[in-house]
Structure 1
């Protein structure tokens, strides 16, 4: 995220430790034992790059589930095995996607790297969303996207505030950049409230599935009503949101990039992969992830029925945990080391990508492939999202964080998860 001012940085250096001792080396420090970059700055070979890539984190132990996911699907082990194994497989794949994107960013420069991060930062959510959209699973699309936003804003940011707050009495971050990001998130949430208000104003009814990928408005008398107005509103709003997101990227990468850059006195990370291997790895991992995600989405219906788990809970809680596992670990570890700008950038920035970028993109994709995805979420979901974004906006406004604020965010997330567990 943005660099602190000199006064903020001095205050950060004088943070009072609550548990004593310096920050332990995080996951990124584990690269040192296999970092083959020479002292002269020569790029790693393909073999060295692949070795550094595979050994980039402890989550990669779970890569054993990737071939098992393919075997389970083609050997017809059943929906339960498909769901569980694919669920586990996507966790390390999401981590590898993040690593490959980061390595490409280091080699391609800040501007291109920023665009690359914006594109692949939520690749798992995009892949799951597109595949569910093709299958006509519109509710899974909506709940998984909503769940990703809530997971980043409440669980990831909350745990990060907690981790940092248990080590430091108070942590500071660039308030201007954080406020700009959270305000854009409020805008994205408001655009979900407007379709709900529009639908309520048009007719007091409910949206029902009328075949794969199709929605119909059903009034209190059971009469079906055309929802073309709601579709047009959603698609027009999606175009406007994408323009706002493009403007935000320009704001972040060009005109106000200094607000979002790391401090120049911090150590610059060396690339552990050459650019060709990094790009190739990014493409391969994306393709493999798409297959595992397809198996996962295809098994959701039977898995939910077999175990009596609400599909809303699977979409809102379970799927986002898969996609955000790597981000969660990174964000919490950075907060424990006092790097709150990075933490805010991961949690809030990822939510913006989804709320103002990914959701509108999927609405337009649905338009192209004749799937009636709208920006109308259920009233309960819309209220939950609005309250969550409002709480985050309030907490980041002062540019400071502590463990109590983290506890509040996590508590709200647990209450939401409990509510969706009992959703019919």
Structure 2
């Protein structure tokens, strides 16, 4: 299904911005969407609902589409999207838990002496003689692995179902992201089409010249001239792009947000901003990571996968006095983070750091950095930090989470097993 955007709509960004609807779904994230796009067909696609779409407001009142499949929703309010299938899955899982509880209780009645043993059984794997102490399996060639243990070590029925639901949920999130990208790619009219392709002219000379010199000499000192070391915990500052490019990128982000096309939350903590990969910048930042940033990370952060970064998450975060002024103490879901202030006029909002998560000896650190438009920081992803509150104006930052996705996937799989 396609939806057209008239030129008159493109020229009325302020009106569109006032018609934004905030949607949330149970376990599948949030997004902002213009009222004109909030039709049943589009919502079905964006939220990948199955078995029927349910829209309810904050009071639990259900909304139904009219004969044209449009919803009469109130701008700037929040509505929850639920699919019939998800409701059925929750009901089935509750029934399974109840059945297992009943069976569990029957066992207790038959043998009270084993009360603690049964309680423990539902929360830990049972390791038999064929299992190593770390939980991995070693079977002889002629041994029946099925007799030894199942894949999930005698996991209960509900545990297996939760694992399956977790995988299904992850797949659904991927499909939702794909639906947003498809809609944006069809409908978004770019303000500066040229900036979606990385060009050397966009780089600040203090960034690109040391790189060129390093490629000639292979001397690391030549490369690191691009950086200013700020702390012994490996926080560095540098300029990547010209201010002209930063201004254009900031305007492009604002242009996108004003269209009312689906805008997902940039991460689990920030409510305002945009995912640049979904806007069409994936190849831009892939090239930046592979051809330029990796030169630095492979030298500075070898112990944090700096030589093996093969994926990224590129997004913008926005702070405003009337919306979100600060960000709490946290660490990033990345191996390495690049944080670039794009601009706008503001006071306050400094970034502060308080030690690296897995290095307790650094936890007494307190380092504060005042954002400067055009200046980026690069730091270890698990370097604990937060953003102090703005005192005036607004600030937008480009954030790059650089990761080794293979290790991240292994960690995710281990959580499912």
- Relative to the length of structure 1, the TM-score reads 0.22
Higher relative contact order, structure no. (Cα contacts within 8 Å, ≥ 6 residues apart):
1
More strand as a share of residues: 2
- Relative to the length of structure 2, the TM-score reads 0.22
More helix as a share of residues: 1
